[in-house]
Structure formats: C-alpha cells, structure tokens
C-alpha cells in the first residue's frame, strides 16, 4: 500500500515537472531569435564605386592630310611607335612634280638675278667712265674759258669745249639712270626668287603631308584603312579619312561612371583603387583628376543637356582617375572598376549598416515599458503623424532576460558594411543586426534570444531584401 502511494506521488511530481518544462519551452518558442553585434572602434573608409574603361589621357586620330591612294602602311594595331616614326604614305606623284617644276623656276630666277647683277656691274662701270670723261671735259672747258677770256682762242673753239662738257654731263646722268634701272631690275628679280622659294615651301609642305608621322610616343590602337584605299582630306562640314588612332600610354586613366547619389562625395585628389577585369587579382592605385559636371543618361550615355526627352531615368556622372605609373601593359578599352575613398575616419565607433531602422522614439519607449505590448488606447490625436528617426535595437538585460530597446543614433560616414556612430551608443554596446525579417517586425520591450549561428544567412537575407 505504501508502495502504491509512493508511486502515485512520483507520477504526480513528473506530471507537474513536465507541465512546468512544457510551459517554459512553449514560452521560449515564442521568443524571436536575433543575431547581434557590438559597437566597436575601428578604422572606417567610405568608398564610392564606379565602372568604366581604361583610357589614355592623350590620344589622337591621325587623319589624312593629302588626297590620294595609300601606298604604304608601316604599322598595325598594337604596335608601339616613337615620335617622328613614319606611319603611312600617300601617293605623291603630283606633289613631287610640283616641287621639281618649282625648283627649276627657282634656278632660272637665280640665273636671271646673276645676269642682272652683271648688267648692274656694267652699268656701274659705264657710270665711272662717264664721270671720268666729265671730269676731263670740265678741265678742258675751264682752260678754254680762261684762254677765251684772255682772247687767246676763237669763240668757236670755246663753244666746242663747252658743248663737249655739256655732252659729258648728260652722258653721266644717262648712265647713272641706267645703273639705277639695272639695280631695280636686280632687286625685282631677287623678289621673284624669294617668291618662288616661298611657293616652294608650300610645295614641300604639300609633299610632306603625303607622309604621316607619329606626333608622340604611343600605341597604335586602331587602323581602319588598308593599303590601296583612297583617302580624302576633311573640309568644312565633311570629316576626312582617319588613318589610325594613336594613344599616349605614358599617362593612363580609368574613366568611370558614378551614380548621381554618390557624386556629391567625390572630389579632386581623392585616392582610388582600380581593378581591371583582364588582370584579376591586381589592384592599381590612382587619384581623381576630373569630376564631370554634366549628368549622363544611364541607358544612352548622352548628357541631359543634349537630351530632347524628359525621361526621369537614372543618371551617372563621369569621373576620371589618373593611375599611378605601372609596368602592366594596360590597353585602352579594358573594363575596370574604381573604388574611390571619399572619407577616412581612424579609430571611430562603428556598427553594421543593416542594424539601422526607422522608428518613433516615443512609441518605442512606451512599448519597452509595457514589455512590447501596445497600449489599449493610442495617445496620439486623430491626424497626428508619428516622427520616425534613425536608430538601433539595443539588447538590454532585464532581470536575466534579454529584451530589445530602441535607441536613436546619429551616424556619420558610411563604409562598405559598417557605418560611423556619432552619438547614441558607446563601445561594447550589443545591438540587434538581424535577421532582416525579425528586425523589421521587432519592437521595444520584446524578449529576444541571442542566436549568432544564423549570422551568415543574415548577410544573404539583407542583400536580397
């Protein structure tokens, strides 16, 4: 009999214990599991990303400077050339013939100059002869005049000497005029030579334009023509033929497009790391050297100022990153991604970005005091809107149980996965970071249980959401 009583007592105790355990387990089954993280001090770098392509800072389209058929192409795509190297030649029969004809004209004009110089010397000698003869005639006339005054010679002889003096004087004037004429003809012929030489310079320039030379050291990136094709020179409103494109690869840039929401944080001189799809595992460094001020439509790349449509599609801005010198043979057009460091905060308080939520602080405070249960009657008047602020859920220890409590925070710069906290938290504070569905429905005062084993799926949930 006593044994039956003992057995009955044991059964009752087991039932009571099972009920208590079941009640506890049931209550805990309704407690949401959350992932948590702590606010920590660390170096935070804010970055802005953009995709684009590698481009040389300087490149030119070498166009045709003469009309004609291409006789030789000395380079091909991918060749490296030095400044002054011959790239291509165009047929030059007519320019060469023009140069030869003009050279003959110059030689003929120079011969004429030499003949005029000889004639000038002859005229100068005639002047000297006439001047000497005039001097002789002056002396004869002077003696005749003295003798005539002394009545020693006849008037006929005196008149003869005077006439001879007048003839010599006229002869000198004539020969001086002939000398001046010869000098003028020589000067005129010299001008003809100079004119012919100037025309020859233009002819040589036309001949030289049948040869295309490299304007700088660079890489040939495009050769759209072939030997035997006829090229034309560009004129107004008509583009000429392009022989090839030459890129100066001594200064390489990454030209990327940055989203309009991030461009306000980009400034000249900021450092950037660039990755090129063709060189996996390598990172190139550089600095921002140009920030575009024209928004570009994302689908077409056309500037909004040039677009005729009023579409509200997403826009980008052009940013140019000049890369530091590298030994890697980068080529124009390679796809790349640039990460621009827009801010750097060393040893600053940070939390994961996904922990941030928007809540009404007053409502959350009442929920916490009421263990997560909403009040029977709302305190807000009809039409009054709640004020949402940014904050996080702090994990608070309430007499051995973990409860969530909303705390408003002020944030600073944003990193890749973390964000700076300026106020509201301190080092070591534990906050709820996920997962996303739980965090979206979480309220202050609700009991939670820590389960950081699901931290890995949280990142996936957050990114997919």
Instruction: Yes or no: say if 331 and 260 are a contact pair by the CB < 8 Å rule.
Output: no
In the chain, what percentage of residues exceed pLDDT 90? Answer: 58
With respect to residue 441, please indicate whether it lies within any of the assigned structural domains: yes
Q: Whose CA is closest to 61, among 212, 210, 230, 244?
A: 244
Tell which wins on pLDDT, 115 or 7. 115
Domain end point (choices 310, 344, 378): 344
With respect to residue 450, please indicate whether it lies within any of the assigned structural domains: yes
Write down the pLDDT at residue 434: 83
Task: Give the three-class secondary structure for 264.
Answer: helix
> Is residue 376's pLDDT more than 60?
no
Write down the pLDDT at residue 378: 55
Same-domain check for residues 353 and 457: yes
Same-domain check for residues 352 and 460: yes
With respect to residue 88, please indicate whether it lies within any of the assigned structural domains: no
Same-domain check for residues 340 and 352: no
Same-domain check for residues 198 and 277: no
Same-domain check for residues 101 and 201: yes
Beta strands in 214-305 (DSSP E): 218-222, 230-231, 242-259, 271-276, 283-297
Same-domain check for residues 326 and 399: no
Determine the average pLDDT of the residues in 327-334.
88
Q: Could you read off the pLDDT of 440-450 as tens digits, one per residue?
A: 889 998 889 88
Write down the pLDDT at residue 150: 84
CATH number at residue 143: 1.10.287.620
> Is residue 5's pLDDT more than 90?
no
Q: How many domains is the chain built from? A: 3
Residues composing the chain: 465
With respect to residue 292, please indicate whether it lies within any of the assigned structural domains: yes
> Is residue 320's pLDDT more than 80?
yes
Q: Could you read off the pLDDT of 204-241 as tens digits, one per residue?
A: 999 999 999 999 999 998 999 999 999 999 887 778 88
Q: Could you read off the pLDDT of 168-197 as tens digits, one per residue?
A: 999 999 999 999 999 999 999 999 999 999
With respect to residue 6, please indicate whether it lies within any of the assigned structural domains: no
With respect to residue 232, please indicate whether it lies within any of the assigned structural domains: no
Pull the structure tokens for residue 440: 């979206």
Domain end point (choices 301, 325, 344): 344
Confidence of residue 82 (pLDDT cuts 50, 70, 90): very high
Same-domain check for residues 117 and 184: yes
> Is residue 458's pLDDT more than 50?
no
With respect to residue 229, please indicate whether it lies within any of the assigned structural domains: no
Instruction: Yes or no: say if 437 and 427 are a contact pair by the CB < 8 Å rule.
Output: no
Write down the pLDDT at residue 298: 85
Same-domain check for residues 292 and 362: no
Domain end point (choices 156, 191, 208): 208
Determine the average pLDDT of the residues in 56-77.
92
Same-domain check for residues 189 and 288: no
pTM over 0.85? The answer is no
> Is residue 371's pLDDT more than 90?
no
Same-domain check for residues 321 and 261: yes
Q: Find the domain containing 328 and state its range.
A: 251-344
Same-domain check for residues 386 and 335: no
Question: Which stretch of 49-53, 97-101, 325-329, 337-341 has the lowest confidence by average pLDDT?
Answer: 325-329
CATH number at residue 416: 2.40.420.20
> Is residue 16's pLDDT more than 70?
no
> Is residue 20's pLDDT more than 60?
no
Cα–Cα distance, 277 to 436 (Å, whole number): 33
Write down the pLDDT at residue 249: 85
Q: Would you give the DSSP letter of residue 271?
A: E
Q: Could you read off the pLDDT of 342-366 as tens digits, one per residue?
A: 999 999 999 999 999 999 999 988 8
Q: Please, what is the average pLDDT of the chain?
A: 86
Determine the average pLDDT of the residues in 279-287.
94
Same-domain check for residues 362 and 334: no
With respect to residue 291, please indicate whether it lies within any of the assigned structural domains: yes
């Amino acid at each position: 009999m006593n044994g039956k009583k003992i057995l009955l007592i044991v059964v009752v105790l087991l039932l009571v214990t099972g009920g208590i355990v079941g009640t506890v387990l049931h209550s805990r089954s309704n407690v949401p599991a959350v992932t948590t993280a702590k606010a920590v001090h660390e170096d935070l770098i804010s970055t802005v990303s953009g995709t684009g392509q590698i481009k040389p800072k300087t490149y030119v389209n070498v166009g045709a400077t003469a009309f004609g058929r291409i006789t030789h192409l000395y380079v091909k795509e991918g060749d490296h050339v030095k400044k002054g190297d011959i790239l291509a030649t165009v047929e030059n029969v007519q320019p060469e013939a023009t140069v030869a004809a003009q050279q003959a004209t110059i030689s003929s004009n120079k011969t004429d100059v030499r003949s005029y110089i000889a004639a000038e010397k002859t005229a100068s000698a005639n002047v000297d002869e006439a001047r000497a003869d005039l001097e002789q005639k002056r002396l004869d006339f002077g003696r005749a005049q003295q003798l005539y005054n002394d009545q020693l010679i006849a008037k006929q002889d005196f008149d003869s000497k005077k006439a001879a003096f007048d003839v010599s004087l006229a002869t000198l004037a004539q020969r001086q005029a002939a000398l001046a004429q010869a000098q003028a003809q020589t000067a005129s012929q010299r001008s003809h030579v100079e004119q012919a030489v100037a025309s020859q310079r233009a002819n040589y320039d036309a001949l030289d334009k049948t040869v295309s030379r490299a304007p700088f050291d660079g890489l040939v990136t495009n050769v759209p023509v072939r030997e035997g094709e006829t090229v034309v020179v560009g004129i107004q409103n008509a583009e000429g033929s392009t022989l090839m494109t030459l890129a100066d690869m001594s200064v390489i840039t990454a030209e990327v497009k940055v989203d309009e929401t991030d461009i306000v944080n980009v400034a000249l001189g900021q450092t950037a790391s660039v990755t090129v799809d063709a060189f996996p595992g390598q990172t190139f460094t550089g600095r921002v050297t140009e920030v575009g001020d024209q928004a570009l439509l994302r689908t077409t790349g056309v500037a909004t100022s040039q677009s005729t449509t009023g579409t509200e599609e997403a826009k980008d801005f052009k940013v140019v990153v000049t890369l530091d010198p590298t030994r890697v043979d980068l080529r124009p057009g390679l796809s790349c991604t640039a990460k621009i460091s827009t801010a750097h905060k060393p040893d600053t308080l940070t939390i994961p970005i996904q922990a941030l939520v928007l809540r009404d602080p007053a409502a959350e405070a009442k929920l916490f005091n009421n263990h997560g249960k909403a009040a029977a009657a709302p305190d807000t008047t009809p039409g009054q809107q709640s004020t949402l602020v940014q904050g996080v859920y702090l994990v608070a220890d309430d007499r051995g149980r973990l409860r969530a409590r909303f705390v408003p925070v002020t944030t600073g710069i944003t990193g890749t996965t973390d964000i700076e906290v300026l106020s509201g938290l301190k080092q070591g504070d534990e906050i709820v970071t996920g997962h996303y569905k739980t965090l979206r429905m979480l309220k202050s005062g609700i009991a939670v249980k820590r389960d950081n084993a699901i931290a890995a799926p949280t990142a996936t949930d957050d990114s997919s959401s």
